[in-house]
Amino acid sequence: MAIDTLRAERRALILGGAGALALPWIARAQTSYRSEYKMSVVGNRPIPFAEGAFKWAELVTERSGGRINVRVYPGSQLVGGDQTRELLAMRQGVIDMAVFSTINIAPQVREVGLFQLPFLMPDHKALDALIRGEVGRDIFGVMERREVVPVAWGENGFREISNSKRAIRTPEDLRGLKIRFAAGAIFSDIYTGLGANPVQMSFADLQPALSTGAVDGQENPINLFLAFRMDTLAQKHLTIWNYVNDPLIFALSRQVMNSFSPADQALVRDCAVEAGRWQIELTRRGLGVEGGDDSSIRELRQRGVEVMVLTAAEKQAFARVTRPVYDRWAATVGAELTRKAEAAVRAAAA
């Protein structure tokens, strides 16, 4: 009996020691993820663009129990404020996750320039047909070949035009106006074709340029116009023409995605989809989409902004003038992808 007891004690001691030796390994396995994952986004709260990034980060951090701790770096601060460098920085390992503007990454991913073809998408139904269908899947496939894993779509919004000089209802109204654009040679071509003087400028430089009259106008989504009170920067005329939209892509580097367990990969994707859908809803709020709430339009008018909502016929006048730009850039985007997009837009309107 004593021998059996001694053997049992030795066995327990050996097993206990093995368990003790195993504990550090278990701890290492549980903490092999980084202490922080860096997410980049243009702008900051409260604009919907940035809100989508914060929402994604919060959902991932919360639902992983802090195992995947995501911190948002707004204002593209990880790339010195130059949002056009975010994609390259992700491929270099500087950025782990991001909510990309398709405008900002178009110089590196020519296919996303599809969304900047002037007057391709007349409304939100058309945009949804693109990002929710085959076109959206094709573009995600292109992104994946660049060591980036796209996981969800968002939306920055249709870009409307404002200025300090006069109402814009026809192409002739743009002649001679100095219009700021953020990035992308196609925007320079569009405004040059319309007889305006396009000026490329960062958003940080835009506000002082508007206040001093260095530029006459700008193009941005309405939610951004309201958030930055551009009506106080002499922007008293705003035209809703829906000439291009800026869909957003929620993405992370392939290296980071591959470092997660399959369950955590699914968690990151699910959180991105949820954040993206919420962000799209936030972007469209108050715009009277499909006859809904138009509080943002009413607020603009209450602030003394003259708001022109162009008819389909008036938009067509701009589309005709910019058609050479459309055709030239469609060749860059890709003829097959453009044909798919045009077919999807026609089907959405039927």
Print pLDDT tens along the chain (350 aa).
Answer: 444 443 444 444 333 444 333 333 333 344 489 999 999 999 899 999 999 999 999 999 999 999 999 999 999 999 998 888 999 999 999 999 999 999 999 999 999 999 999 999 999 999 999 999 999 999 999 999 999 999 999 999 999 999 999 999 999 999 999 999 988 899 999 999 999 999 998 888 899 999 999 999 999 999 999 999 999 999 999 999 999 999 999 999 999 999 999 999 999 999 999 999 999 999 999 999 988 899 999 999 999 999 999 999 999 999 999 999 999 999 999 999 999 999 999 999 99
DSSP string, 295-307: HHHHHHHHTT-EE
Is the distance from CB of 320 to CB of 314 less than 8 angstroms? no
How far, in Å, CA of 157 to CA of 48, rounded?
9
State the angle between helix axes of 134-144 and 124-131 in degrees (0 to 180), rounded to the nearest 10: 50
Residue 188: CB atoms within 10 A of its CB come to 17
Radius of gyration of the chain, Cα coordinates, nearest whole angstrom: 25
pTM for the full model?
0.90
Determine the Cα–Cα distance for residues 152 and 227; give it in Å rounded to an integer.
25
Residue 173 CA to residue 196 CA, distance in Å, equals 9
Three-state SS at 108: coil
Query: What is the model's pLDDT at position 9?
Result: 43
**Amino acid making up residue 288:** G
Q: Is 266 exposed, middle or buried (0-12, 13-18, 19+ CB in 10 A)?
A: exposed
Q: Where are the alpha helices (DSSP H) in the chain?
A: 2-30, 48-63, 86-91, 102-105, 124-131, 134-144, 185-193, 203-212, 222-227, 254-259, 262-284, 295-302, 312-321, 323-333, 335-349
Contact 272, 152 (CB under 8 A): yes
Could you tell me the sign of the dihedral formed by the alpha carbons of 195, 337, 349, 276, in that order? negative
Residue closest to 320 by CA, chosen among 312, 83, 341: 312
Place of tokens 């110089």: 107
Which residues are CB-neighbours of 299 under 8 A, at least 6 positions away? 226, 286
Provide the pLDDT for residue 203: 81
Query: 319 is written with which tokens?
Result: 């589309």
- In DSSP notation, 155-207 reads EEEEPEEEESS----SGGGGTT-EEEE-S-HHHHHHHHHTT-EEEE--HHHHH
Q: Looking at residue 70, what is its pLDDT?
A: 98
Per-residue CA distances from 113 to 117, 203, 327 (Å): 7, 20, 12
Of 98, 46, 103, the residue nearest 246 (C-alpha): 103
Give the pairing of strands 178-181 and 197-200: parallel
What residue type is assigned to position 266 of the chain?
A
Domains assigned to the chain: 35-156+247-284 (3.40.190.170), 160-244+296-349 (3.40.190.170)
Query: What amino acid is encoded at 118 in this protein?
Result: P
On whether the CB atoms of residues 306 and 236 are closer than 8 A, the answer is yes
Exposed e or buried b for every residue in 268-286, given b needs 16+ CB within 10 A? bbebbeebbebbbebbbeb
Q: How far apart are CA 309 and CA 329, in angstroms?
A: 27
